[in-house]
Amino acid sequence: MGKVSALTGLLLAMLSLNASAQTIWTPYVSNPVVPPNFDPSATSIYGPNVIKDGSTYRLWYTRKCTPDSEKIGYATSSDGIAWTLVDSAALRPAGGSTLFDCDKLGQPCVIKINDTLRMWYWGSGPHIGNIGHAWSTDGQHWTKVRGPGTDSSVYDRTQDGGTSLALVTPCVIKDGDTLRMWYGRGYYSTQLYCRLGYAVSTNGINWTHVSGSGSNGCVLDAGASGQFDEFSVYYPTVVKDGSVYRMWYDGINNIGVECIGYATSNDGINWTRHDGTGANGSTIYNAGTSCVVLDGSTFKMWYSDGSGFSYATAPVNGVAGKPVSDELKPGRPALRISGMTLDYTLPHSGNMRLSLYNTAGQMIRTLSQGYRGAGQYRANWDGRNQDGRKAASGVYMARLTSDGGPVFGKLVIVR
């Protein structure tokens, strides 16, 4: 079967891949944090947009309802995990037949400038997609700003260069005195697909398109054949981290599977993709419409995965958790490895997961998961991957995630 040695207490440097890549995320053990029935009058919800405002997390999201309409809901939280619904329709379509957002609106992006919350959002009316703007002082009551674009939008396809069918999924950040916006540019051949465009502004109402090196001047084109984003890219979320722009975005492959990808840039225009641990280079497979917040030393992500909104974290330095010694530290779990046996101790009751990763940071096997009471447990590994194939010789990381925090152990297989 092969020899396994126990070398616990140190986190593998190789697990982090590129320390600045932020491609390895730890999902919350009790996902989803926002269940599908969170908004009881909605048929579905998507596109979470979260900011941390002092000690309060604020969430705006797109809610679909019957008849075919979309509005923006609003919720708050003290920890980003337990959410309270404040208003299921904080921003509504304009109604009528002339304004850009008269039929539907959604896909909000909110930032706070001084004491004012400012939102950019997608609206649909006489045309299927332009970008609008609104402001608020409390997050619930919004005043729309009618702009210079088509049907009173603030940014439209003509300002973008006129090559796209619609503009969707805006993401805006404040970078010094400049507002920077990345957004989806919708096109149609046999079906609708997107690329990412880019514009800048000083006031959030008058925008200037900046052309990139991709097709029709986009800044992020589709991925290579066989990659998770080979068909379409849209729904960016961007964080400025020092001098680096970090983007997580939605990619769709040729069979319609949606995943989250990751890219970085030094100027917001030229982007470098980073392969993640999911299938075909994705960061999180079969998920989308994410929002990322940099909170101290932790990146926090909320995303849609078909069951409401889930939550995950990744540390700024790319290391997925703190290593621990063999001795149980107060309030933290412990992990000990001997041969093919992994013994672990949980100081608290709660949900847990014990998984194995290869040196590329890809999860190859989950040995145990679910709700466990406080106590000692044992799991045995038969040396096989999740699909039943034998694991290759090499170094592997065991990762125990629980309410007490992640801990790690290193294994080596020699066949």
Chain mean position to CA 303? 5
User: What is the model's pLDDT at position 9?
Assistant: 30
Q: What is the full per-residue pLDDT of the chain (415 aa) written as tens digits?
A: 343 333 333 333 333 333 334 667 888 888 999 999 999 989 999 999 999 999 999 999 999 987 678 999 999 999 999 999 999 999 999 999 999 999 999 999 999 999 999 999 999 999 999 999 999 999 999 999 999 999 999 999 999 999 999 999 999 999 999 999 999 999 998 888 999 999 999 999 999 999 999 999 999 999 999 999 999 999 999 999 989 999 999 999 999 999 999 999 999 999 999 888 788 889 898 999 999 999 988 899 999 988 799 999 987 754 333 333 333 345 678 888 876 788 888 888 888 889 888 766 678 889 998 888 888 899 988 888 888 888 888 778 888 888 766 777 777 776 6
Q: What domains does the chain contain, in order, with CATH numbers?
A: 3-13+320-414 (2.60.40.4070), 20-315 (2.115.10.20)
pLDDT of res. 388:
85
Residue 227: the pLDDT is 94
The per-residue pLDDT for 397 is 82
In this predicted structure, what is the pLDDT of residue 3?
37
Distance, CA of 119 to CA of 105 (rounded, Å): 12
Q: Which of 97, 99, 162, 165 is nearest to 133 (CA)?
A: 99
Check if the beta carbon of residue 22 is closer than 8 Å to that of residue 284: no
CB atoms within 10 A of CB 310: 22
User: Would you state the pLDDT for residue 151?
Assistant: 97
- Asked if residue 126 has a cis previous peptide bond (ω within 30° of 0), the answer is no
CA distance 215 to 220: 9
Q: How far is CA 358 from the centre of its chain?
A: 23
For 202-315, strand residue ranges (E) read 207-209, 232-241, 244-252, 258-265, 271-273, 288-295, 298-304, 309-315
Residues forming beta bridges with residue 309, ordered by sequence position: 34, 304
Complete edge-to-edge strand list for the sheet that includes strand 83-91? 44-53, 56-65, 69-77, 83-91
Distances (CA, A) of 7 to 405, 408, 410: 20, 10, 5
d(CA 33, CA 78): 13
Which residues have C-beta within 8 Å of that of residue 71, sequence separation ≥ 6? 62, 63, 65, 88, 89, 90, 91, 92, 93, 105, 106
Q: What is the predicted pLDDT for the residue at 271?
A: 97
